[in-house]
């Protein structure tokens, strides 16, 4: 028997069905994200050079069942289909990356006009569909020729990156106004040069690793300057970094204080130095004799002002106050801690509230985008041809609820890019982990929007949960 309230009131909806108290700010930017090597394929076409991911994925034993990005989603050819999917979803923005070896096959030297032509056509098609291009210049596909000369262990790679960024900005600045220098330095350095599980598969010493981190952030700074000088007045520049996601163990003043300290220290060699121009004392102390070697001039370059900061968030790291030198401690997760299909992807929705808030409070960042968030699921195509990824919908609902909480409190997050539009090549996991809201049959390249894609389209239309 109906009581005082009807169902709509009970679930907090207004008569129009709009979730009045769970909406995002007006003009909030909804997008999706992909990366060149994960979707493009066509690795030998139109003069593209070899990247470290071609080499790594073709080295036996490095990736799941030896899978490579040779074909991936074939988006190099099928991008009109992908853009049609974006349009149908109502996406306002598309984050994609340019493959450096398509522009400079050898990393430096002679540029490849066909590479520029491809991305111009792609961006024009996006604009035609009413979708704004958000371009990342480096999503891990370093030209092999540069790796052969030391890769990110070498200052010359940072300089080459600056030149590639400036050249590309000068050629595409009319169709791209939103630029990100690099994607997740913390991943490509720590996993590629530290743990050796991503390309180029090295396990450097502590000092050499610290130096590689330094050349990565230095390369970012050089690229910011080069884009600024070449892309035209409308250019807005940032990067997409996977902040170490410290969150307080629970809502208590001492743990919030601990999370602030953790945020600054855990992000010391990346976000923190980029926004402060200094390596945090605690970081230098922990590195000791293995600290990076740097000049004052390099530190200035690293902290070149940007217009926004992109943050990729998947997991959370709960910390609590501790009476030690750092003032915090990270708690070890029990084995029952829930995760998605990728074992590393533990579920921590509150990261979407705390991380942007702590970034604004501790580093003074004034404008942010969530440049990646999403999850892997064991998706299957049901007998009726649909993909019922209810777990992904659960994950996204939980995270976006926390983002809405942040935005409604005035934390300056201006947009959100879901990873990913399509199932794609998940690096060392090959095609075994699906992150798309669109299912891709890798044999036929058939694309099927999943339940989560309908969820996302509905959320965009309502601008709220
Ligand atoms: C991020 C990467 C992205 C994708 C997602 C799942 O770390 O930036 O390319 O692999 O994880």
d(CA 265, CA 244): 9
Task: Compute the distance from residue 35 Cα to the ligand 1 centre, in Å.
Answer: 9
- Is 184 among the residues known to form the active site? yes
d(CA 378, CA 372): 20
Task: Compute the distance from residue 144 Cα to the ligand 1 centre, in Å.
Answer: 21
Q: How far is CA 198 from CA 121, 194, 216, 219, 465, in A?
A: 31, 9, 16, 20, 36
User: Nearest Cα to 202, choosing from 218, 190, 187?
Assistant: 190
Q: How far is CA 396 from CA 30, 33, 65, 88, in A?
A: 13, 15, 29, 19
* 190: CB partners within 8 A, 6+ apart: 209
What is the model's pLDDT at position 24?
Answer: 97
Task: Compute the distance from residue 314 Cα to the ligand 1 centre, in Å.
Answer: 9
Contact 74, 90 (CB under 8 A): no
Ligand 1 atom with minimal separation from the 342 CA = 6
Ligand 1 atom with minimal separation from the 376 CA = 6
What is the model's pLDDT at position 20?
Answer: 55
d(CA 396, CA 91): 16
Ligand 1 atom with minimal separation from the 183 CA = 8
What is the model's pLDDT at position 180?
Answer: 99
d(CA 129, CA 93): 10
What is the model's pLDDT at position 318?
Answer: 98
What is the model's pLDDT at position 173?
Answer: 98
Helices (H), 364-450: 390-408
Ligand 1 atom with minimal separation from the 433 CA = 6
Rg (CA), the chain: 22
Measured from the Cβ of residue 243, the count of other Cβ atoms closer than 10 Å reads 25
Which protein residue's CA is at the shortest distance from atom 9 of ligand 1? 35
Tokens describing residue 450: 């999943």
Ligand 1 atom with minimal separation from the 427 CA = 10
User: Nearest Cα to 330, choosing from 343, 339, 317?
Assistant: 317
Task: Compute the distance from residue 32 Cα to the ligand 1 centre, in Å.
Answer: 13
Of the residues 73, 239, 312, 375, which should be mutated to test ligand 1's pocket, given the most ligand atoms within 8 Å of the CB?
Answer: 312
Tokens describing residue 431: 């095609």
For ligand 1, residues with CB inside 6 Å are: 35, 38, 183-184, 187, 242, 312, 372, 419, 426-427, 435
Which protein residue's CA is at the shortest distance from atom 4 of ligand 1? 426
Task: Compute the distance from residue 3 Cα to the ligand 1 centre, in Å.
Answer: 48
d(CA 150, CA 164): 17
Task: Compute the distance from residue 254 Cα to the ligand 1 centre, in Å.
Answer: 32
Tokens describing residue 75: 């988006």
* DSSP 8-state secondary structure symbol assigned to residue 190: I
d(CA 285, CA 361): 24
What is the model's pLDDT at position 21?
Answer: 76
The tens place of each residue's pLDDT in the chain, 465 residues long, gives 334 444 444 444 444 444 457 999 999 999 999 999 999 999 999 999 999 999 999 999 999 999 999 999 999 999 999 999 999 999 999 999 999 999 999 999 999 999 999 999 999 999 999 999 999 999 999 999 999 999 999 999 999 999 999 999 999 999 999 999 999 999 999 999 999 999 999 999 999 999 999 999 999 999 999 999 999 999 999 999 999 999 999 999 999 999 999 999 999 999 999 999 999 999 999 999 999 999 999 999 999 999 999 999 999 999 999 999 999 999 999 999 999 999 999 999 999 999 999 999 999 999 999 999 999 999 999 999 999 999 999 999 999 999 999 999 999 999 999 999 999 999 999 999 999 999 999 999 999 999 999 999 999 999 999
Where does 260-315 show beta strands of DSSP type E?
309-312
The arrangement of strands across the sheet holding 317-321 comes to: 246-248, 317-321, 328-330
- Is 128 among the residues known to form the active site? no
Which protein residue's CA is at the shortest distance from atom 10 of ligand 1? 426
């Amino acid at each position: 028997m109906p009581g005082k309230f009807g169902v709509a009131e009970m679930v907090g909806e207004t008569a129009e069905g709009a979730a009045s108290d769970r909406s995002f700010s007006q003009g909030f930017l909804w997008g999706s994200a992909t990366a060149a090597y994960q979707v493009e394929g066509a690795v030998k076409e139109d003069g593209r050079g070899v990247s470290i991911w071609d080499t790594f994925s073709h080295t036996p034993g490095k990736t799941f069942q030896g899978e490579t990005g040779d074909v991936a989603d074939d988006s190099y050819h099928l991008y009109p289909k992908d853009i049609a999917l974006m349009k149908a979803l109502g996406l306002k923005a598309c984050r994609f990356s340019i493959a450096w070896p398509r522009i400079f096959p050898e990393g430096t030297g002679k540029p490849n006009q066909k590479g520029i032509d491809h991305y111009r056509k792609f961006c024009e098609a996006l604009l035609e569909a009413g979708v704004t291009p958000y371009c990342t210049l480096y999503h891990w596909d370093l030209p092999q020729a540069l790796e052969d000369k030391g890769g990110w262990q070498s200052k010359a790679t940072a300089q080459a990156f600056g030149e590639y960024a400036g050249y590309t900005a000068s050629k595409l600045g009319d169709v791209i106004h939103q630029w990100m220098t690099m994607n997740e330095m913390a991943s490509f350095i720590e996993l590629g040069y530290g743990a050796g599980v991503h390309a180029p598969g090295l396990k450097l010493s502590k000092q050499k690793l610290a130096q590689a981190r330094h050349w990565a952030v230095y390369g970012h700074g050089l690229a910011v300057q080069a884009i600024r000088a070449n892309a035209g007045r409308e250019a807005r520049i940032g990067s997409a970094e996977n902040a170490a996601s410290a969150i307080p163990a629970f809502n208590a003043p001492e743990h919030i204080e601990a999370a602030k300290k953790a945020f600054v220290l855990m992000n010391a060699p990346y976000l923190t130095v980029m926004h402060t121009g200094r390596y945090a004392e605690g970081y230098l102390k922990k590195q000791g004799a293995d600290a990076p070697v740097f000049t004052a001039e390099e530190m200035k370059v690293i902290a070149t002002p940007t217009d926004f900061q992109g943050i990729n968030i998947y997991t959370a790291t709960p910390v609590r106050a501790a009476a030690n030198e750092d003032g915090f401690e990270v708690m070890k997760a029990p084995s029952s801690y829930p995760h998605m299909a990728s074992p590393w992807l533990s579920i921590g929705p509150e990261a979407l509230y705390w991380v942007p808030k702590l970034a604004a409070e501790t580093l003074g960042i004034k404008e942010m985008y969530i440049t990646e968030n999403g999850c892997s699921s064991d998706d299957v195509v049901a007998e009726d041809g649909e993909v019922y990824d209810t777990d992904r919908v659960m994950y996204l609902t939980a995270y976006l609820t926390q983002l809405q909480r942040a935005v409604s409190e005035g934390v300056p997050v201006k947009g959100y890019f879901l990873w990913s539009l399509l199932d794609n090549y998940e690096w060392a996991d090959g095609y075994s982990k699906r992150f798309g809201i669109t299912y891709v049959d890798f044999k036929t390249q058939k694309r099927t929007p999943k339940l989560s894609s309908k969820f996302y389209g509905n959320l965009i239309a309502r601008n709220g949960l």
